[in-house]
Amino acid sequence: MSALRFSDTISAALADGILVVTIDNAPVNALSADVRAGLMAALDHAEKDGAVKGVVLTGAGSTFIGGADIKEFGKLPVEPLLPDVISRIEAFSKPIAAAINGAALGGGLEVALACHRRHAAPSAKLGLPEVKLGIVPGAGGTQRLPRLIGIAAAIDVVASGRMVPASEALKLGIIDGVSGGALLADVIADIKVANAPSLRRTGHLSVRSETADAVDRAAADASRKARGQRAPSEAVRLIRLAATASLAEGLAEERRTFIELRDSEEAAALRHVFFAERAAGKVEGLEAVAPRKIETIGIVGTGLMGSGIAVSALNGGFRVIGVEQSAEAAEKGRDRIVGLLDKAVQSGRLDAAGREERVGRLTVTADMQQLTQAGIVIEAVFDDLIVKTELFQRLDTIVPAETILATNTSYLDPDAIAAATKLPERVVGLHFFSPAHIMRLLEVVNCKETAPDVLATALALAKRLGKLPIVSGVTEGFIGNSIFSAYRREGEYMLEDGASPQEIDAALEAYGFAMGPFAVFDMAGLEIAWARRKRQAATRDPSERYVVIADRLCEAGRFGQKAGRGWYAYPDGKKTVDPEVTAVIEAARAEKGILPKKFTAEEIVARLLKAMVDEGDTLLSRGIAARASDIDLVMINGYGFPSSKGGPMFAAGRR
Ligand code: 3H9
């Protein structure tokens, strides 16, 4: 066996007539300029060397190829371009196969699709996730995939951007086999028997005929899920084109669309979100700190929040001990948790065996002593300082010193809770968002005394729960609710100044929010915020502008959708503008002598965005948030800010 090197990232070895070319470009073998040049050089060599009978492409480490190098987007393109490398692979005169050892995504799958044979390891995941970056596949994905698996199936895979497990990829026909044992040996054996005239070049296949109905259904489904984003509908258009256009025409149109979308604002925003997610949860100085090993999670309180956290923990593979105040409450809590698992089975997200296995890891009890087995105890009890501090003081006497104590408070001061315990360094905040088993966002609150390894453990735990952890310092409402309060306050100022709830909601919905703030308040219910305002009334700065409209609505029993009326009326469940609300708003303006002015949708968005950004800047300057991109992720994942705009901090920088 002789070792060859074609660039910094491409090496090869010839064994028994097969040149195994390895892409080694950590961390994910992205198709950088060096990889593309190295691949071209390897193909030149393989073409000329008579000893080479066939070629196998594979990736070093646990990834095959993670796609085009996203960091190169926005820079001048460097030749050879990926579509040229891929055309060269497909046209290669000798058999060429992909040994897909791990994720084959985007350009990575496009490389594999151009190979003459494709085998994958059982753990490999394949996909064309480009739409998640606001673009379409740009190196043949929309033209070659439908030639292999049909138009409807290709629409499903490309427009969703989902990861397809190897077993499904085999069923769909994306790959020729899943290797049970040694992938490379299997692929080499397979390619050795392939002879040049019988090679199957994906681009030469014709698209099989399908009923228009199946294609229309897949397209309609994709457009429903696209929620106004451009890339999925463009992907559908290009895939449909594969049925009628030649490969060359299809590739040219794909490339044109790819470039147009790549240079769009939406794609720039989604790229920002991609890198923001990778940066989130990284804390300077914490890289070398080893997290503690956690296998069992204790949860005190199994109401709405606690039961969601329990399901999230069960899904993450942990043992869960839920604690309630009485045997009866424990029984109810258990029913709530199992009920959530049953819902997941009904909706097809979980199978019956998975449910059984999870239930086997669940205990709900009234016996707090059982928490001695937990590595971390998360409290999800009533959000009251006395209730929470008393609970933590009790836990202090029960659980061992190395058990971490986490509070799920959303508004209380976790430093005050920690200060009331014997070991404040073991206290951390874990602010889950409701429903906790669905929402990805998790604010990890780094309290004044939190020990570094406690923070590192909380972050590792969040990852295992499949959450997106954002570290927040201690301030009322942490990052998310601080910004939300500023946004809410500005919305109410605008009401007084002349805008209506429906104008504000419509402006934000047109901007990309699924729902405007007043529709959200109605859905969540107005009474909790009202109770908070009443508690704060005595300490409020009298010189600060205060809008009474929300209080007046609550005084009139308008608590939102559940009450049948709030910022809107809901006759027969349908949201309708209510003249009574208009009258309350007009009266409030008149009391302050405010002459209402007209707002355009643009002005409304600009004012609300500015309020969010001003608050965001304050959080950054106080060190509550570590980076502006963390604030963007909180607002996107917890408060409905459109990801296609990149979050408030990013959007403000683009205006
Ligand atoms: C494309 O292919 C377009 C083509 O159709 C046409 C072109 C002409 N580029 O996620 P992780 C970095 S578009 C550059 O934590 P994991 C990432 O920033 C692309 N960098 O790892 C992070 O860096 P850092 C289509 C990339 O093990 C590090 O790798 N492909 C890229 O949890 C680790 O990332 C995609 O959209 C990239 N393509 O998951 C796939 N990918 O350490 C995007 C990752 O400095 N990638 N990085 O923070 C993924 O989904 C995941 O990274 C993957 C690994 C599943 C591969």
Say if residue 150 is in the same domain as residue 14. yes
The rounded Å distance from CA 65 to ligand 1 centre is 9
Say if residue 469 is in the same domain as residue 502. no
Say if residue 67 is in the same domain as residue 204. yes
On whether residue 635 sits in a domain, the answer given is no
Burial class (CB in 10 A: 0-12, 13-18, 19+), 401: exposed
pLDDT of residue 193: 81
pLDDT of residue 2: 67
pLDDT, tens digit, for every residue of 435-455? Answer: 999 999 999 999 999 999 999
On whether residue 634 sits in a domain, the answer given is no
Residue where one domain finishes, among candidates 440, 474, 508: 474
- CATH number for 58: 3.90.226.10
* Sequence-ordered list of residues with C-beta below 8 angstroms from that of 611, at least 6 positions apart, any chain: 486, 487, 489, 490
pLDDT, tens digit, for every residue of 248-306? Answer: 999 999 999 999 999 999 999 999 999 999 999 899 999 999 999 999 999 999 999 99
Instruction: Read off the pTM.
Output: 0.92
Q: Average pLDDT by consecutive 10-residue portion of the chain (655 residues)?
A: 90 95 98 98 97 97 97 90 97 96 98 97 98 97 98 97 97 95 92 76 92 92 86 96 96 97 94 96 92 97 96 98 97 98 95 97 97 97 92 96 95 94 97 95 97 97 97 96 94 97 96 93 90 88 94 96 95 94 97 96 97 97 97 96 95 80
Q: Active site residue: 72, 90, 110, 324, which one?
A: 110
Q: Across the chain, how many H-helices and E-strands are there? A: 26, 19
Residue where one domain finishes, among candidates 243, 263, 283: 263
On whether residue 638 sits in a domain, the answer given is no
Say if residue 226 is in the same domain as residue 361. no
On whether residue 83 sits in a domain, the answer given is yes
On whether residue 647 sits in a domain, the answer given is no
Residue where one domain finishes, among candidates 416, 450, 474: 474
Mutate to test the pocket of ligand 1, among 28, 132, 162, 263 (most ligand atoms within 8 A of CB): 28
pLDDT of residue 398: 96
Say if residue 177 is in the same domain as residue 108. yes
On whether residue 528 sits in a domain, the answer given is yes
Say if residue 614 is in the same domain as residue 465. no
The letter for the amino acid at 267 is A
Task: Note if 130 is an active site residue.
Answer: yes
pLDDT of residue 535: 85
- CATH number for 357: 3.40.50.720
- Cα 241 to Cα 52, 144, 168, 317, 635, distances in angstroms: 37, 11, 25, 44, 37
Say if residue 592 is in the same domain as residue 526. yes
Say if residue 506 is in the same domain as residue 378. no
Say if residue 92 is in the same domain as residue 202. yes
The letter for the amino acid at 139 is A
Residue whose Cα lies nearest atom 48 of ligand 1: it is 278
On whether residue 101 sits in a domain, the answer given is yes
Say if residue 95 is in the same domain as residue 188. yes
Say if residue 208 is in the same domain as residue 311. no
On whether residue 278 sits in a domain, the answer given is no
Atom of ligand 1 nearest to the CA of 69: 9
DSSP-assigned states of every residue in 450-506: --HHHHHHHHHHHHHTT-EEEEE-SSTTHHHHHHHHHHHHHHHHHHHHT--HHHHHH
C-beta separation of 514 from 640 below 8 A: yes
Q: Which domain holds residue 22?
A: 3-263
List ligand 1's pocket residues with C-beta within 6 A: 27-28, 30, 63, 66-71, 82, 103, 105-107, 110, 129-130, 133, 137-139, 141, 275, 278
Task: Note if 603 is an active site residue.
Answer: no
> Looking at this predicted complex, what is its ipTM?
0.98
pLDDT of residue 522: 95
- CATH number for 581: 1.10.1040.50
Domain count, the chain: 3
Say if residue 575 is in the same domain as residue 448. no
